[in-house]
Structure formats: C-alpha cells, structure tokens
C-alpha cells in the first residue's frame, strides 16, 4: 500500500474514533433538547399509542393528507432511477 | 415513552460501523452495504425522536422515514448497476484493483 | 405582499415545464427510433430549455408584484404540508440553471452526435435541471431533500455515461458513494432539527430555532449540515470525488457540473445555515473552511498536467472564494456570493466547453502535448483565453467584479485577514492560468494538426465569451438583480416567515 494510502487510512481511523467519542459524550452527557423549540403556532397531530395495530394506518393517512407534494417528487425520482439503470445497462452499438 | 439515550448511542455506533465498513472493505458490494447501514442509522434517529411525547406517537416522522427509505433504495440500485459495469471491464469487483481510486 | 396558491395541484411553472419535458423526452426518444427522423431528441431538448427560460421570465413578473409566492397542493398548507416558497433569490438561481442548460444543450448537439443511448442522456439532463430548480424553490427541508436526490441521481449516471472506458465508471462510483454518505448525514441533520422543533418547514425553523443560545447539540447540527451539503459543494476535505469526476464526464456535463451543480449545493448550504443559525455564529468556522479550500485547491492545481483536471481544481478554489462571501454574513457578502455563482457558471462552463472542443478535435487531454493549438483553432483559443482571464479576475471581465465585491465584503465585516488571503490566492491562481495561455500561444511541433471545431460548438463558446466581456464592462443590471436577490434572503426574512405563518 502506498504511503499516501496508509496515512489516509490512519487519518480516517483517527477521525472515526474521535467522532465516536464526541457523539457518545453528546448523547449521554448532554440532554437532547427534545421539542424545546416548538413554535407556538404549531398544533400537532399526534397518534395515540394504545391500539398498536392502528398506528400504521393512521400514519399512512397522515402521509397522504399532508405530504402529497413530496410524493409527487418521489414518483419522478423513481422514473429517473429507471432511466438511469437503462442508461447504464443498455448495450451501446459497438464500442467507442 | 422510550428512553432516548440508548437509542442515540446505538445510532452513533451504527454510523461508526457504516463508515468503517465503507472505508475498510475491498468488495464493492460491501461498500454499498456500508452506505445502506448509514441510511438505516439516520432513519432510526428519526423514529426514536418521534416517540418522545408520553403516550403518543408523531406520524410526521413516520412519513419522512417512509419516503427516505424509497429514496435511498433508488441510490443503491443505481450503485449496483455501476458495479455490474465495473465487472464487465475488470472481471473483478475488488476495489484495490481500480487504478485511480485513492481515498 | 405575499401570494399563497394552494387549491388543486400546481407546481411552479419552470419546474412543471422541466418535469413534463423530461417525461416526454423519453417518449420522443422512443418515437424517433421508430420513425427514423434524425435530430428529434435534440430539437425537443432545445424546445424544453427555451420554454424554461420563458417561464422563468413570467414567474419573475409575478414575484416582483407579490414579494414571496407560496405554492402547495390540495390545500395542504405548511407547517405540515410540503410547499414551495419562491422569492427573488430562487428566480436568480433558477435563471442561472436555465441559461447554462440552454447553452449546454446547443453545444451537446454536435459533441454527442456519435454516442449511443442519446435518449437517456437528454432525459437525464432535463431531470437534473428539474432537480436543481426544485432545490432552489423549496420551502421545506424534506422537499429540498427529495429534489436534491433527483439532481444527484441524474448526475451520478451522467458522470459515468461513456461506459465503454474504465475511467468514467470508476469516477462515477466514487462520486455515488461519497454523495450517498452525505445524503445519510443530511437525513441525520433533518432528524436533529425535527427533534428540536417538531417541524421541518423553513419559516417555522427560522421563527423558533434562530436565536437559540449555542449548545453542544446546536454545534453537532451545524457540523452534520456542513458535511451533508459540503460534499456536493466540494468543500475541502470532502472534495476528493471532484478531481476524478469532472475530467471523466463528457464535456457538456462537466460544464454543467462545475458550473451550476456545485453552486446549487452552496445555495442550499447558505439558505439553510442562514435560516437556522445566527450569522455571527457562522463566521469563524466558515472562514476557516474557506481558507482551507482556496489554498489546497490552488496548490494542487499547480501540479496538474491534465487540462480538465486543472480546471476541476480551479472550480474547488472558486468555491473557496464563494465561501468568503458566506462567512461575511451580511447582505453585501451574500450579494457577492450569488453574483460570483452566475459569473462562475458562465466562465467555468465556457472553459470546460472550449477545452471540450479541443479534446474533441485532438483526442488528448495532456497540456504538454497541446502546445501550439492556438494557431490551428483560433476562435476556440480566443474564447478559452477570455475565460481564463475572467477566472483569474483580470479587470474588464465579470470575474473581477464579483471577486471585488466578495473581498470587500470580507473587509467590511471584520474579517480582514480573510480578504487578504483571498487576494493572495487569486494572484496565485493566475500562475496556472498563464501556463495554459502559454501553451495556447506557443509554436506547434511538427506533425501536429487539428481542425477547427464544428460550427455549433464554436457559436456557443463565442456567445459565452461575448457575455463575459459585456458583463465585465457593463455589470449594472446583473449587480442590481443579485443585490435584490440577496436582500430578499437577508432583509426579507420577516416577509418570508410571515408568508407561511401568517
């Protein structure tokens, strides 16, 4: 392995260990400010936990009632990924 | 109400596992599996934070995760198509045989 | 002063044109194989991109009248529904996208005429432009993410398009892995914002999270946002995909990537950082990143011998200059940033297109073997000469004007050392631009012959050179447009919040 690659691996390992230490100190040492900054004009729609089987149905109804714009965009992403796979996997005419 | 600290620590751990899988493995398909682990860790963080109001679950986070899963599935699919093209050229999917790929 | 459109299904007009144009481009491609008419796909691409420019003009009229336009579907208003929120800054950025896309479409008629799979090429280019337009018009973080993935997905495959050689596929795979990792970091940062505020809407975040005191979780949010957006904007040390991806992509796609995809990443970083944090908190980290980016890219560019790789490192350096404007944090700094975005798209786009003509005619990318090309391809060399002068910041071109605004904004906001570093780096970058100019003007070896490029490629490069010189001598309309764009970001914040939250 070349010298650059070895230094790169050592630096990457060091960064990862440092990131792990920082993240675990963050999550255990400092309390996460859960929902501290909720704006007052937000009236939240929450789903009760009790009948467990209902959570999926109510979540998907929330999705269709409120996020139709993102679902439209997501449909176009799926079309784009089909065209991408076509472009990568089609046999071109001859080899350039 | 699910306690938050254990799940955040496991999200951090999954990030570290995903990043090291990405950097260490020499098989291209395993590198893509590392990317998938990273995506799953980020989605887990969303779900963990949606249960923090006692007795209730917030469906907003669930909608985000449902859409994010589809989006990263498409990215991995295109990555696998690229791996097939690399195999056609080099007859191997060992990333150390690729001539210029220096991390 | 604001206009809310929310009944039925509607999208902003340029976005609708580009998305429907992409779908029909697929069908036109399939049709043209059956009928056998020669240039149907290219003509359709030119129709779609000129329709985009016209629709941006009309949208601009309504935004000037209304201030801020909020668009959503089926009455699903924010803060729960996804929405588009269009102000002058969105019009400025999508105008840059459309103009560069139109010029690149004309260029790629004659550059890509011998390639296969042209249907997918034009369809993916249209989807990439649609994704960029969606990113600059988004009003909600998740809408931005969906269109960000659309833009990224198309660009991964466009980089790896010429799949019969090993170089593009390797570069495309590396780009995909790094960009997908950044997408995971983006989702993590969205979850941290959601955990703190309960919503992902820009206006609601700006209302509640903006003045918060600095705590360790806020710094964690800042770092994940910078990593998430910074891989696409090529900030050092997250830039390592760029020197491989830009040379290996086909030349029109290199021009679009360097010219406008990187800058869309920088726009998203500027918008989200400005709306979530106080500008005074951003100064030192972003200034440090700017100095690192500029210096490393300029030093690495001096060592290159491949012309497109040198231009790719030069793009990273220009992103460093734009970060200087972001670090300044004032309206003047943002004006310099967006002015340099448009100017850089013209100059770097034209540099890539001109060097693409040279590579197309001679078949080699090595600078040392291109000596004397100026005598055999005079028009292309003059255009490349003007582009390099503009990139170096010589007075008389528009590069000088935008760099002047950027560095004086840095001086004006208390970061004098940053302005001095910027000026020094700009002078250093002239060293490698002069090296290319020397090669262009040298005397050719025997046996080195090349024809002039085809007429369409020549027309596009000449037109862009003329635009660069005109904007350098008479920059006033562009400066006033960029100034109103940055004012709508910085001073129009209360209008922006009031449009959504009432």
Per residue in B38-68, pLDDT (tens digit) is: 999 999 999 988 888 887 888 888 999 999 9
| Residue B2 confidence (pLDDT) above 80 | no
Asked whether residue B103 is assigned to any structural domain, the reply reads no
Asked whether residue B102 is assigned to any structural domain, the reply reads no
Residue of B nearest to C188 (CA): B42
A6 reaches B (C-beta below 8 A): no
B96 reaches C (C-beta below 8 A): no
The rounded percent of chain B whose pLDDT value lies above 90 is: 39
Q: Per residue in C221-258, pLDDT tens?
A: 999 999 999 999 999 888 989 998 999 999 999 999 99
Asked whether residue B12 is assigned to any structural domain, the reply reads yes
* Window C:68-97, CB contacts with A under 8 Å: 72-74, 76, 79-84
Asked whether residue B58 is assigned to any structural domain, the reply reads yes
Kindly state the average pLDDT of the residues A41-55.
73
| Contacts B88 to A, Cβ<8 Å | none
Q: Which helix (H) or strand (E) holds B6?
A: helix B4-24
pLDDT the model gives residue C234: 92
Total CB pairs under 8 A between chain A and C = 136
Tokens standing for residue C245: 């991806």
- Mean of the per-residue pLDDT values for chain B? 87
CA distance A71 to chain B (A): 8
| Residue A11 confidence (pLDDT) above 50 | yes
CATH number, domain with residue B49 = 1.10.287.3510
The rounded percent of chain A whose pLDDT value lies above 70 is: 82
pLDDT the model gives residue B91: 85
Say yes or no for a CB contact (<8 Å) between A66 and C76: yes
Q: Assign A40 a pLDDT band (cuts: 50, 70, 90).
A: low
What is the Cα–Cα distance from C97 to A57, expressed in whole angstroms?
A: 41
Tokens standing for residue A1: 């392995």
Distance in Å from the first CA to the final CA of chain A: 33
Name the residue among C495, C500, C501, C481 with its Cα closest to residue C89.
Answer: C481
Please name the member of A37, A69, A79 whose beta carbon is closest to the beta carbon of C82. A69
CA distance C248 to chain B (A): 12
Please name the member of A20, A47, A78 whose beta carbon is closest to the beta carbon of B16. A20
What is the Cα–Cα distance from C351 to C347, expressed in whole angstroms?
A: 6
Asked whether residue B27 is assigned to any structural domain, the reply reads yes
Beta strands in C107-173 (DSSP E): none
Query: Which of A17-21, A47-51, B59-63, C483-487 is predicted with the least confidence, judged by mean pLDDT?
Result: A47-51
Three state DSSP letters for C196-213: HHCCCEHHHHHHHCCCCC
With contact defined as beta carbons under 8 Å apart, do C492 and C276 qualify? no
Burial class (CB in 10 A: 0-12, 13-18, 19+), C360: middle
Burial class (CB in 10 A: 0-12, 13-18, 19+), C20: middle
| Residue B103 confidence (pLDDT) above 60 | no
| Contacts C162 to A, Cβ<8 Å | 96
Tokens standing for residue B98: 């690729």
Beta strands in C154-218 (DSSP E): none
What is the Cα–Cα distance from C409 to C482, expressed in whole angstroms?
A: 14
A91 reaches B (C-beta below 8 A): no
Residue A70 neighbours by CB distance under 10 Å? 24
Burial class (CB in 10 A: 0-12, 13-18, 19+), A69: buried
C241 phi and psi angles, rounded to 5 deg: -75, -25
Q: Assign A96 a pLDDT band (cuts: 50, 70, 90).
A: very low
C-alpha to C-alpha distances, C299 to C245, C259, C398, C425, nearest whole angstrom: 19, 21, 24, 9
What is the Cα–Cα distance from C456 to C462, expressed in whole angstroms?
A: 10
Say yes or no for a CB contact (<8 Å) between A74 and B4: no
B77 reaches C (C-beta below 8 A): no
pLDDT the model gives residue A9: 73
pLDDT the model gives residue A94: 53
Asked whether residue B42 is assigned to any structural domain, the reply reads yes
Q: pLDDT tens per residue, chain C (502 residues)?
A: 677 777 777 788 899 999 999 999 999 988 888 887 778 889 999 999 999 999 999 999 988 888 888 888 877 776 777 888 888 999 999 999 999 999 999 999 989 888 888 889 999 999 999 999 999 999 889 999 999 999 999 999 999 998 888 889 989 999 999 999 999 999 999 999 998 888 888 888 888 888 778 888 888 899 999 999 999 999 988 898 999 899 999 999 999 999 999 999 999 999 999 988 888 888 889 999 999 999 999 999 998 888 999 999 999 999 999 999 889 888 888 999 999 999 999 999 999 999 999 888 888 888 888 888 888 888 888 899 999 998 988 888 888 888 999 999 999 888 888 889 999 999 999 988 998 888 888 777 776 777 788 888 888 889 999 988 888 888 888 889 998 888 888 887 777 777 777 6
Asked whether residue B74 is assigned to any structural domain, the reply reads yes
| Residue A48 confidence (pLDDT) above 90 | no
Residue among A4, A87, A92 with most chain C CBs within 10 A, to mutate: A87
Range of the domain at B84: 5-97
What is the number of domains present in chain B? 1
Chain C interface with B: residues with Cβ < 8 Å: 80, 142, 145-146, 149, 152-153, 156-157, 160, 163, 166-167, 169-170, 172-174, 176-177, 180-181, 183-185, 187-188, 190-192, 194-195, 198-200, 240, 244
């Amino acid at each position: 392995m070349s010298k650059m690659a070895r230094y790169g691996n050592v630096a990457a390992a060091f960064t990862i260990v440092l990131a792990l230490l920082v993240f675990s100190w963050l999550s255990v040492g400092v309390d996460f400010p859960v929902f501290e900054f909720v704006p007052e004009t937000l009236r939240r729609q929450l789903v009760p936990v009790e009948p467990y089987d209902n959570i999926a149905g109510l979540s998907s109804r929330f999705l269709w009632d409120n996020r139709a714009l993102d679902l439209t965009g997501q449909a176009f992403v799926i079309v784009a990924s089909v065209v991408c796979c076509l472009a990568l996997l089609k046999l071109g005419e001859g080899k350039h | 109400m699910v306690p938050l600290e254990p799940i955040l620590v496991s999200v951090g751990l999954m990030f570290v596992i995903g990043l090291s899988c990405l950097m260490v493995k020499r098989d291209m398909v395993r590198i893509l599996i590392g990317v998938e682990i990273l995506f799953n860790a980020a989605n887990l963080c969303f779900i963990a934070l949606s249960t923090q109001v006692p007795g209730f679950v917030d469906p907003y986070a669930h909608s985000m995760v449902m859409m994010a899963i589809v989006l990263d599935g498409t990215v991995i699919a295109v990555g696998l198509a690229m791996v097939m093209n690399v195999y056609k050229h080099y007859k191997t999917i060992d990333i150390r045989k690729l001539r210029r790929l220096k991390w | 002063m604001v206009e809310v459109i929310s009944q039925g299904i509607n999208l902003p007009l340029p976005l609708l044109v580009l998305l429907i144009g992409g779908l029909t481009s697929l069908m036109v491609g399939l049709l043209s194989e059956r009928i056998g008419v020669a240039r149907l796909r290219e003509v359709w691409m030119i129709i779609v991109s000129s329709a985009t420019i016209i629709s941006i003009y009309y949208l601009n009229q309504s935004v000037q009248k209304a201030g801020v336009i909020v668009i959503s579907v089926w009455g699903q208003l924010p803060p729960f529904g996804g929405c588009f929120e269009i102000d002058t800054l969105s019009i400025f950025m999508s105008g840059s996208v459309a103009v560069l896309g139109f010029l690149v479409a004309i260029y790629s008629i004659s550059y890509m005429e011998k390639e296969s799979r042209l249907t997918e090429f034009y369809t993916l280019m249209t989807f990439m432009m649609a994704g960029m337009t969606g990113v600059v018009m988004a009003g909600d973080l998740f809408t931005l993410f969906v269109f960000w993935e659309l833009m990224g997905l198309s660009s991964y495959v466009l980089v790896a398009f010429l799949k019969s050689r090993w170089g593009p596929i390797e570069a495309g795979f590396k780009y995909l892995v790094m960009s997908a990792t950044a997408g995971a970091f983006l989702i993590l940062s969205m979850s941290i914002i959601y955990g703190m505020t309960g919503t992902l809407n820009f206006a609601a975040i700006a209302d509640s999270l903006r003045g918060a005191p600095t705590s360790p979780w806020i710094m964690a949010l800042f770092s994940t946002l910078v990593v998430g957006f910074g891989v696409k904007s090529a900030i050092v040390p997250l830039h390592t995909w760029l020197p491989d991806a830009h040379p290996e992509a086909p030349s029109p796609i290199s021009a679009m990537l360097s010219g406008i995809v990187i800058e869309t990443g920088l726009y998203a970083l500027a918008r989200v950082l400005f709306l979530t944090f106080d500008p005074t908190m951003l100064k030192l980290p972003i200034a440090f990143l700017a100095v690192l980016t500029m210096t490393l890219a300029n030093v690495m560019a001096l060592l290159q011998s491949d012309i497109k790789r040198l231009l790719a490192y030069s793009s990273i350096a220009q992103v460093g200059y734009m970060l200087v404007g972001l670090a300044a944090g004032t309206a003047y700094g943002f004006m310099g940033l967006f002015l340099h975005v448009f100017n850089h798209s013209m100059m770097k786009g034209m540099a890539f297109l001109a060097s693409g003509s040279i590579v197309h005619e001679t078949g080699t990318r090595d600078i040392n073997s291109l000596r004397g090309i100026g005598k055999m391809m005079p028009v292309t060399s003059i255009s490349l000469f003007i582009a390099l002068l503009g990139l170096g910041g010589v007075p008389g071109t528009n590069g000088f004007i935008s760099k002047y605004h950027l560095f004086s904004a840095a001086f004006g906001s208390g970061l004098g050392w940053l302005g001095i570093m910027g000026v020094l780096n700009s002078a250093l970058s002239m060293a490698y631009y002069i090296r290319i100019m020397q090669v262009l003007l040298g005397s050719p070896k025997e046996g080195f012959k090349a024809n002039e490029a085809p007429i369409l490629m020549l027309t596009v490069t000449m037109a862009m050179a003329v635009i660069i010189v005109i904007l350098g001598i008479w920059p006033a309309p562009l400066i006033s447009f960029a100034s109103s764009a940055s004012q709508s970001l910085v001073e129009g914040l209360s209008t922006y919040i009031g449009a959504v939250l009432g």
